[in-house]
Structure formats: structure tokens, C-alpha cells
Amino acid sequence: MRPTLVLLPGMDGTGELFEPLLQALPATQPVLVLRYPLDGPQHPAALANWVGPQLPADRPFVLLGESFSGPVAILLAAAAPPGLQGLVLCASFARKPSRLPAALAPLAKVLAQLPRPTWAVSAALLGPHATPALRERLTGALAQLPPAVLAARLQAVLHGDVRAALRQTRLPLLLLEAQHDRLVPARCQRELLALRPDAERVAFAAPHLLLQCAPQAAAQALLAFVDRLVSPCAAAQSAAR
């Protein structure tokens, strides 16, 4: 049996934006999409505690953290839950991607209350890859996000730093990098590689939402990663750890 691919969503927290990737994955690849709660703390440690009990307990799995969820996935991987065989970070980071000081985090509450122009959000997340269908899916997902929750997640990004946890991880790591990312700069990918020089990196000519804009290529990279994890060679290496 192939390991289940557990998908942790980006800032929207709905998991609905994974649909293009789900359509690109074969039926033989088990997938579990998680959705974040709209109440309670929204920082990575709290969300990791919320996700933990929902992880597969009776079968192996691979954890993917998209963007905002990268730190959540890192904290979970550092805790080494039974069955976890690999970690994937997609267009993500180990600490705040913005150069803005954390002292400006209170402004997140103000920004979250402002109207969200569709064109600006689309340009930032989808770039020239935007299609009517993708824009509609993105708008629908973000519309479900209350301003208070958005503000809490923005603050979590500005304050977060899970570099120490990433150093503790020993599982195979795959980095999916969006080369045309307007939100997460390339230095974040360099930092991830500096913390885990053994990580595998696959770059895509895509914007921040690379799983949505390049689903076929992303699916191929994920399947290849999972295949290597279940190969006899990978199993031997895992047993030797």
C-alpha cells in the first residue's frame, strides 16, 4: 500500500484549493485533506496539536505543508509521529517570509478587516496563470475566512520561527519551490536547504499557488518522492536510522 498523502492547507485553511492537485493524482494514491478550525489559536504549535490526532494511526503517511502550513508540518515532523515517512514543504518557510519586523504584527488586525480586492489577490497568488476557474476557487476559499482568523494567521506568520524544529527532523524532505513566488522569496528556500542540506528540491515555473497552477508537474514530483520512500533502498535506509 502506498503511504497516504496528508495535505495541510495554506492560509485559507479550507483545503478546497487542493482540488486541481487531487484531480492530477491517480486513484491509487491515497490522500487525506485536512481543514483547519475557525476557532481557537491559529499559531503553528496550536494547529500542530489539532492536526496530530487526525493523522493516520494505522498506516504510513507523508505530510505536505503548503505555504502557511509549512511550520505546522515541520513541528509535526519534529515530533516524529508513528507512520510518518516523509515531509514535503510547498512554497513555504521556516520563519516569517516577510522582512517586516514582528513588531508590526498588530497591523495584521487592521489589514484583515480591509476589503480583499480580487485582482490583487489573484495577481499575488496566481500571477499570469490565473484562469476564471482558479480565481473563482480562490475567492470562494478566502470568503470562508473570517477577518479575525485571517489576522491571527497573519500574526502567526510574522512571529513564527520553527528553524530549530526543522533541524531536528531526520525524515526525507522534499521542497517544492515556486520560481515566480511573489509572497515567499527565494531566500526562504535557501534557508530551508541550509537547515536541511540533504533535502530534495524541485523548482516550478509557477507562482505561489504552484499546486493549483502546475498540478500535473507537482503530482509527478510528489509521486516520484513517495515511490522512492517505498522502494527497498529507502526502506533499508529508514531502518538504519
Instruction: Say yes or no to pLDDT of 117 above 90.
Output: no
Instruction: Say yes or no to pLDDT of 236 above 60.
Output: no
Instruction: Say yes or no to pLDDT of 110 above 70.
Output: no
| Averaged pLDDT for residues 217-239 | 77
| Averaged pLDDT for residues 74-101 | 90
Question: Contact at 8 Å (CB) between 134 and 213?
Answer: yes
The helix (run of H) or strand (run of E) holding residue 20 is helix 19-24
Give the model's pLDDT for residue 148. Answer: 87
pLDDT band at 119 (very low <50, low <70, confident <90, very high): low
Measured torsion, CA atoms of residues 199, 73, 77, 197, in degrees rounded to the nearest 10 = 20
| Averaged pLDDT for residues 166-172 | 96
pLDDT band at 118 (very low <50, low <70, confident <90, very high): low
Domains of the chain listed by start with CATH number: 4-240 (3.40.50.1820)
Q: Per residue in 51-62, pLDDT tens? A: 999 999 999 999
Give the model's pLDDT for residue 169. Answer: 96
Instruction: Say yes or no to pLDDT of 101 above 90.
Output: no
Q: Per residue in 184-200, pLDDT tens? A: 999 999 999 999 999 99
| Averaged pLDDT for residues 212-234 | 89
pLDDT band at 135 (very low <50, low <70, confident <90, very high): confident
**Mean predicted lDDT score pLDDT of the chain:** 88
The helix (run of H) or strand (run of E) holding residue 87 is strand 84-90
Task: Using alpha carbons only, give the angle 207, 103, 10 rounded to the nearest 5 degrees.
Answer: 30
| Averaged pLDDT for residues 25-35 | 97
- 153 CA to centre of own chain: 14
Question: Contact at 8 Å (CB) between 91 and 67?
Answer: yes
| Averaged pLDDT for residues 23-47 | 96
Higher pLDDT: 77 or 160? It is: 77
Give the model's pLDDT for residue 232. Answer: 52
Query: Is 14 exposed, middle or buried, given 0-12, 13-18 or 19+ CB atoms closer than 10 A?
Result: buried
CB burial readout 212-226, b (16+ within 10 A) else e: bbbbebbbebbbebb
Give the model's pLDDT for residue 98. Answer: 67
Instruction: Say yes or no to pLDDT of 238 above 50.
Output: no
